[in-house]
Amino acid sequence: MASDAPPPPPAMPPPLTRNTISFLGWIVTVVIGALLAILVGADILFHREDPYNSVITYLVLPVFFAGGVFIILFGGFLEWRRRHRSAPGEYPPLPIVDINRPWERRRVIAGAALLALFFGFSAVGTYRAYQFTDSPAFCGRVCHTVMKPEYTAYQHSPHARVACAECHIGSGAEWYVKMKITGLHQVWAVATHTYHLPIPVPVENLRPARETCEECHWPEKFSDSMEKAIWRFSPDETNTAVRYNLLMRVGGGSPDRGEGRGIHWHIGRNVTVRYWPRDRARSDIPWVEARIGEAPPRVFRSADCPPGDPPAAEIRVMDCIDCHNRPSHIYQSPNQLIDVALANRVLDTSLPFLKRNAMDALAADYPDTPTALASIDRTLSEKYSALTKGPRGEEQVKRNIGALQNLYQQNFFPEQGVSWKIYPNHQGHYEFPGCYRCHDARHASNDGKAISKDCDLCHQMLDQAEGDAAFGPFTYHGGPFQHPRNLGDIWKEGNCTDCHGLGASARLTGGG
């Protein structure tokens, strides 16, 4: 009779996770889980851009949470092994799940709910971690002291609303993974202080610019020509203004918009310009090759170019960042900064010799930012002490000093050794060789023609005016370039950079 009776249903054994190790795991998981729930909830409800907060919520805490879950499981595994060792045969090798038994059903439901919660949180967390590690705040602020210059300059650039990742990573999984791997390398370098400041160019592994920039600026939408007004101010008592209106021959990028003409010719669909830069900053270019369609390539060499082919590994195909190399991290020269500020009336042209004094204040070498700000305040207050007697004069001088201090903080980073002197801007020919790296009329091809320096090749002078006339009314006079201050043909003696470039501008403005 006893043998006919069904075997008694197995009693509910204590769960495998009821042991000291798993218990510790539970504490960790519950505490961190609660914290995570609060932080993620707060982040969703009151979204604030705080990189440190995000590092904790999406990178640090999840690791501990996963650690807690692991400890629970590990404790369970040890318990399972202990039970098998102490009473072999009493337990089946793997658990038999029978959801007809209420207690097993409850465990399965509880387990499934926990797993769903865990995966739900992981999904939100992973997505946010992905978003966050791609955000400018993460790139620019977590590596605070290292990338402060890049981040600050970026925030004042035309691309301030474009995420770092849009230029530095672009779309597609392949580059995402590639950049995260180099990113890990960088995080390691920051943690171990083995990075190099100022951060050198070119950015190794920077994705070809055409794959990133063209996500937003596709060649079909380039304008044919665009007018640029450029303002300059002299270092004299009245801060004499000079205005140029240049019609930049940008050039279209599709057959119906005039492909093959103008400045953007270099990146035309059937054009390939390759060049050999002899230095890291790509300022010295002795060899250039232009290939148009199927025609045989034309090679241009500077006078000091060694004979034979240049080293193949160092050759670059010209793309956007060979001209627009500072689309986002723009460190301006004192001259450029002050001229723009005077033109926009952020600085007052009515303060005598302001251009010269401001140049001296910004161009000096300072050991760190606080010293620089204090020194700018002191020297300018002294220069204009006569004006600060009246309340209006005092307010004006204070305002100008404040503006200069702002300009300094946005463009000079003595702690990281970063300023305009470190990163040349290739987009013109006034302070840096820029276009004249090739267009200096001295890069000759074997058919005897040189890369042109003709003033009308790239822009047409629509108007230029000096002194009070610079402020209008605007009348377009056109005509060839006239050097300001009645200096006649002085500009024909060399390139603008010879007298106005790095090192030279201090000499020009020093005299007065």
Of residues 398 through 437, those in contact with ligand HEC by CB under 6 A are 423, 427-430, 434-435, 437
Instruction: Find the binding residues for ligand HEC in span 8-27 (CB under 6 A).
Output: none
- Residue 202 lies near ligand HEC (rule: CB under 6 A): yes
The closest alpha carbon to 155, from 139, 169, 131, belongs to: 139
Strand positions, DSSP E, 315-458? 316-317, 444-445
Q: In terms of CB distance, is 40 or 199 closer to ligand HEC?
A: 199
Q: Is 399 left (phi over 0), alpha (psi -120 to 50) or beta?
A: alpha
**Span of 87-95, 379-387, 405-413, 482-490 interacting with ligand HEC by CB under 6 A:** 482-490
Binding mask 455-474 for ligand HEC (x = CB under 6 A): x-xxx---------------
Compute the C-alpha angle 281/231/217, nearest 5°: 55
Task: Give least dist CB 500 to ligand HEC, A.
Answer: 5
Q: How far is CA 422 from CA 105, 313, 417, in A?
A: 69, 25, 8
CA quadruple 504, 432, 467, 337: dihedral positive or negative?
negative
Question: Residues 269 to 298: which contact ligand HEC by CB under 6 A?
Answer: 273, 275, 285, 288, 290
Q: What sign does the CA torsion over 272, 278, 284, 288 have? A: negative
Report 160-199 residues binding ligand HEC (CB under 6 A).
162, 164, 166-168, 199
CB of 129: closest distance to ligand HEC in angstroms? Answer: 18
Residue of the chain from 483, 501, 502, 506 that contacts ligand HEC (CB under 6 A) = 483
Interacting span for ligand HEC (CB under 6 A) from 19-27, 39-47, 177-185, 203-211: 203-211
Q: Find where tokens 């955000």 sit.
A: 135
d(CA 417, CA 422): 8
Residue 439 as a binder of ligand HEC (CB under 6 A): the answer is yes
Q: CB under 6 A: which stretch of 8-16, 113-121, 362-370, 481-489 binds ligand HEC?
A: 481-489
CB of 92 to ligand HEC, least distance (A): 57
Euclidean distance between CA atoms 65 and 125, whole angstroms = 12
Beta-sheet strands, E only, within 183-336: 226-233, 241-248, 271-276, 287-292, 298-301, 316-317
CA distance 220 to 240: 41
Is the CB of 143 or the CB of 397 nearer to ligand HEC? Answer: 143
Residues 28-87 interacting with ligand HEC (rule: CB under 6 A): none
List of residues 6+ apart from 211 with CB closer than 8 A: 170
Of the candidates 58, 65, 132, 151, which one interacts with ligand HEC according to CB under 6 A? 151
Q: Are strands 241-248 and 459-466 parallel, antiparallel or unpaired?
A: antiparallel
212 binds ligand HEC (CB under 6 A): yes
Tell me: does residue 320 bind ligand HEC (CB under 6 A). yes
Query: Which of 7, 8, 14, 158: binder of ligand HEC (CB under 6 A)?
Result: 158
- Rg of the chain, C-alpha, whole Å: 33
If DSSP states are collapsed to H, E and C, what string results for 394-428? HHHHHHHHHHHHHHHHHHCECCCCECCCCCCCCCC
Find the part of the chain contacting ligand HEC (CB under 6 A) among 17-25, 63-71, 123-131, 204-212. Answer: 204-212
Nearest to 79 by CA among 15, 24, 29, 28: 15
Residues touching ligand HEC, count (CB under 6 A): 99
Nearer CB in complex with ligand HEC: 69/165: 165
By CB under 6 A, residue 142 contacts ligand HEC: no
CA-CA distance, 32 to 146, in Å (whole number)? 31
What is the smallest separation between the CB atom of 120 and ligand HEC, expressed in angstroms? 31
Reading phi first (left if > 0) and then psi (alpha if -120 to 50, else beta), residue 348 is in: beta
Of 65 and 300, which CB lies nearer to ligand HEC in the complex structure? 300
CB of 447 to ligand HEC, least distance (A): 10
| Helix segments in 87-224, DSSP class H | 102-133, 136-137, 144-155, 164-168, 173-191, 209-213
Of positions 128, 243, 329, 383, contacts ligand HEC by CB under 6 A? 329
* Binding of residue 209 to ligand HEC (CB under 6 A): yes
Taking CB under 6 A as the rule, does residue 201 contact ligand HEC? Answer: yes
With vertex at residue 458, the alpha carbon angle to CA 333 and CA 222, rounded to the nearest 5 degrees, is 90
Q: Does 136 bind ligand HEC (CB under 6 A)?
A: yes
Residue in 49, 174, 468, 498 binding ligand HEC, rule: CB under 6 A? 498
Q: Which stretch binds ligand HEC (CB under 6 A): 105-113, 302-310, 319-327, 392-400?
A: 319-327
